[in-house]
Chains A and B, each alone.
Chain A
C-alpha cells in the first residue's frame, strides 16, 4: 500500500491543477456565452 503515499499527494496536486483550469475558464468568459460560439463555425466567413 506504499503506493498510496505517492498517489494521494499526486491527486491533491491534480485537483489544484484542474482548479487552475476552471479559473482560466471562468475568467476567460467561457461560461458566459455558450450558444453563440458553436454557431460561429457555420458562418460563411
Chain B
C-alpha cells in the first residue's frame, strides 16, 4: 500500500475556512443570513455577521474599515458589544467570500449570523425589561420625594390641602409603575391561575393590587373605613426591587445564551461532491442527495451515513459511540454522519441523510428523553400556596377579632394585614441567592443555563461520569517503555517518533509528543498500513512500528494499548500507551465521594478501557459498552430507585442521558447539541469545578433557607402587630424595605469565595 501523507497538513486552519466560504458564495445560502436590500433591480443584499476576536471598541472600527475597503461593499456597521456586523453589498461586484476574507486579513474571524431573528427578539426583550425597570426606579425616586414631607413634618406643619396635593402627585406617578412596570407580575399570575397553579407571582400581584387599591381609596376618600394611610412609596420601592432582580436575571441569561451561541456558531457544513465528469464541486451539505458520491478529506466530518466506495481511513467515532480508539474503515464499510475522518481522503456514497442518520436518531432520542426530565417543584413556589392561605387566614382572623369589639375597624384591620404581609422578601429570597451564585460560578468558567438547576444540584446523591472526553482528554500518552538490551531507550524513542510523525493516529501522536528531543528526520521510505502500523528505513535498518500482529509478534495480554518496534533481528522496543486521564479527575471524584455522593462511570467504550480509567480515578461502579439507549435506561432505572442523578458528559451519545438527568453538566468542548441539553457548561473542562459547584449549590440553598426563614419571621412579627393596629404605615414600609435589603445582602455573601476542598 502506498504511503498516505496526512492530507490535513495541506489544509491548515485558515485555508480550510477559505474552502468553506466558497459554499457561502452560493446564492441559495444567502437567505440564511441576508435579505435583499432596496429594490429587486439593484441586486443589493444586507447581510448579518458575527465577528469574533474583537477585544475593544476600536477593534470594531478596524473591522468596519476592512469591510468598507472591499469593492462592492456599500456600507458596514459593526457593533462592539453585541459583536455583530451589518453590511450592505452589491452582488454584482462582490461575493461573500471576498468580504469574509477581508475581515480575516484584518485579524478577526467572521461567521454568518443565522440567528438574526432570535437576536432581535432578545434585544427587544432586554430593552423592554430595561425600560420597565427605569420607569419603576425613576417614579420611585419622585414618589419618595412627595412622601418625605409627611414623615418629617411635625403635627400641624402641613395644611390638609398641601398633604392632599402631595398624595395626588404620588398617586399619578405610581400609575405608570402599576400599569406598565408591574405588567409581567400580573400576566404571570394570571397565566398561573388559568393553569390552576400558584407561583410566587400570585401573592406578589395580590399584594401590589391591594396596597394600591387601599392607598388610592385613602387618597381620594380619606374619611372611609380604609383609613387615610397611603403606601405609594413602599409600593414603588417594592416593585423596583423585584424588577432589579429580574433585570439582572435577564442580563445573566442573555450573557449565558450569548456565550453558548459562540460555541455553537460555525460555518455552514460543506462537502465536495463528485460531478458526472468525475470532478469535484464544494456544495453545502443540505444540498446533498441520496446516492451522491462525496469526497471527505482528512480532518472533515462525514456529512451523512454512507459506504466508502474508494480509499480507506481511520475514523474517530468517540462522540457518537464513546469508543476511544479510532476505527479502520475501508472500501465497503459503513461510516456514520458526525464521525471524524482522521487520515486520508475517501469517497463515500451517501445512503442516509438528515433525519434518518444515526446522528439524527440520537438527537431524536435526546429530545424524547428531555420530556422525562424530573421537574422539581421549586422551594419558593411550594411556599406560595401556604403563604397565601396564612395571609388570608390572618386577615380573616383580624376582621373577626375586631368585629366583636369595634365593627368599624374590622375591615381596616384586615386590609392592614394584607398590606403588611408583603411577599417582598419571600419572593426575592430565591432569585437573589441563585443570581449571586451563578455570577460566582460564571467567573470560574461555569455557565449556569438554568438558575433553578442549582436547587436540583444541591439535592443530588449520585453522579455519573462519561469516560471518553470527560474523565479522559482526547490525547494519549506513553506510560512505559521497554527496549532490547544494549539499545539506548532515548534513541529508540527518537527513531520511533520520527516514524510516527508520518501518521495521524492518536497513538502515533502520543509517541511524537513523548520525544522531547528536537526531531531529526533520520528515517526514510515511510509507509503506513492504516490501522496497523508503519514501516521505514532507519539507522536500525528496516523497521516496523505498530501492533503485535503487524510486527510479527505474539499478542500478550496487557491492560493498555501496546505499540511495538521491530527491526530485522526481531523485537526492539515496546511502548505502553494509555488515554490521558484529566489531571484533576481523581481529586474531583474523591471530593464528591467525601461529600457523600455515589460516583459511577457510564461509557460506550470497552469494559477493559473503562475499568482501567475507573480504577485510576477511584470509581468502582462501572458500566461499559453502552449505546445511547442503554445509557438512558441505566439512568432511568436509577431514577426509579428514587436517586437524584447528575450526569456529566460531552458526546452526542451522552445527549439523551443529559437531557433526562436531574442535573446535567457538559464538559469543555462538548458537542453543541449536548450543551443545548445541559444545565451547566464547564467551559474550562476542569473536573475539580464539579465538587466546587456542589458546595456552591448547597451553600446557595442554605442561604435561600435563611432568607425564607427571615421573611417568615418578619411576617410572623408584623401580622399580630397589624391585627392589633399597633403598626403604623411608615414602620411597615421601613420593615418591608429592610427585610428586602437583608435578604439581598445575605445573598451577596454567596458571591464571595469560600475555602474549597
Contacts and interface: CB of A to CB of B under 8 A. Distances in A.
A8 B134 contact: no
Interface string A24-40: 00110101111110111
Interface string B112-146: 00000000000100010011001100110010011
A1 B162 contact: yes
Contact of A8 (B127, B138, B165): B165
Contact of B159 (A1, A19, A36): A1
A8 B138 CA distance: 16
A8 B146 CA distance: 9
Interface in A1-45: 1, 4-5, 8-9, 11-12, 15, 18-19, 22-23, 26-27, 29, 31-36, 38-40, 42-43
Contact of B127 (A1, A4, A27, A39): A27
A43 B59 CA distance: 11
B80 interface: yes
Nearest to A14: B142
A43 B56 CA distance: 14
Contacts of B58: 39, 42
A19 B135 contact: yes
Contacts of A33: 79-82
B138 A15 contact: yes
B433 interface: no
B66 to A, nearest CB: 13
Contact of A11 (B138, B159, B169): B169
Contacts of A19: 134-135, 138-139, 176
A22 B138 CA distance: 10
Nearest to B176: A19
Contacts of A38: 57
B166 interface: yes
SS class of chain B's interface: helix, strand, loop or mixed? helix
Nearest to B149: A4
Contacts of A39: 56-58, 61
B131 A36 contact: no
A4 B173 contact: no
Given A4-B162, A12-B172, A36 B138 contact: no
Interface in B161-201: 162, 165-166, 169, 172-173, 176
Contacts of A34: 81
* Chain B: interface size category: 20 to 34
A10 to B, nearest CB: 10
Contacts of A15: 138-139, 142, 173
A36 B64 CA distance: 12
A19 B141 CA distance: 12
Contact of A36 (B57, B130, B162): B57
Interface string B42-86: 000000000000001110110000000000000000011110000
A23 B173 contact: no
Given A15-B173, A39-B57, A8 B166 contact: yes
A33 B83 CA distance: 10
B81 A35 contact: yes
A36 B60 contact: yes
Contacts of A29: 127
A35 B57 contact: yes
Contacts of A18: 138
Contact of B56 (A5, A12, A23, A35): A35
A32 B82 CA distance: 8
Contacts of B57: 35-36, 38-39
Nearest to B56: A35
Contacts of A1: 159, 162
Interface string B277-298: 0000000000000000000000
A1 to B, nearest CB: 6
B85 to A, nearest CB: 12
A35 B81 CA distance: 8
A1 B149 CA distance: 14
Contacts of B123: 32
B80 A35 contact: yes
Contacts of B145: 11
A32 B79 CA distance: 9
Interface string B15-59: 000000000000000000000000000000000000000001110
A31 B130 contact: yes
Interface string B426-466: 00000000000000000000000000000000000000000
B58 to A, nearest CB: 5
Contacts of B134: 19, 22, 26
Nearest to B60: A36
Interface string B536-573: 00000000000000000000000000000000000000
A9 B165 CA distance: 9
A21 B135 CA distance: 11
Nearest to B62: A43
A11 B142 contact: yes
Contact of A26 (B81, B131, B165, B169): B131
A4 to B, nearest CB: 6
Contacts of B135: 19, 22
B197 to A, nearest CB: 33
**Residue of A5, A9, A26 with highest tally of chain B CB at under 10 A:** A26
A9 B166 CA distance: 9
Interface in B504-535: none
Contacts of B80: 33, 35-36
Nearest to A22: B134
A35 B80 CA distance: 8
Nearest to B165: A8
Contacts of B162: 1, 4
A36 B79 CA distance: 8
Given A1-B159, A19-B135, A23-B131, A40 B61 contact: yes
Nearest to B123: A32
A26 B172 contact: no
A38 B60 CA distance: 12
Contacts of B172: 12
Nearest to A42: B58
Contacts of B176: 19
**Residue of B131, B135, B166 with highest tally of chain A CB at under 10 A:** B131
Contacts of A22: 131, 134-135, 138
Contacts of B131: 22-23, 26-27
Given A4-B165, A8-B165, A35-B81, A43 B138 contact: no
Contacts of A40: 61
A32 B81 contact: yes
Contacts of A32: 79, 81-82, 123
Nearest to B139: A15
Nearest to A31: B130
28 contacts: A4-B162, A4-B165, A5-B165, A8-B165, A11-B142, A12-B169, A12-B172, A12-B173, A15-B142, A19-B139, A22-B131, A22-B135, A26-B127, A26-B130, A26-B134, A27-B127, A29-B127, A31-B130, A32-B79, A32-B81, A32-B123, A33-B79, A33-B80, A33-B81, A35-B81, A36-B81, A39-B58, A39-B61
Which 3 A/B pairs are nearest by Cβ-Cβ distance? A35-B57, A36-B57, A36-B80
Given A11-B145, A12-B173, 5 more contacts: A19-B134, A23-B131, A29-B127, A33-B80, A35-B57
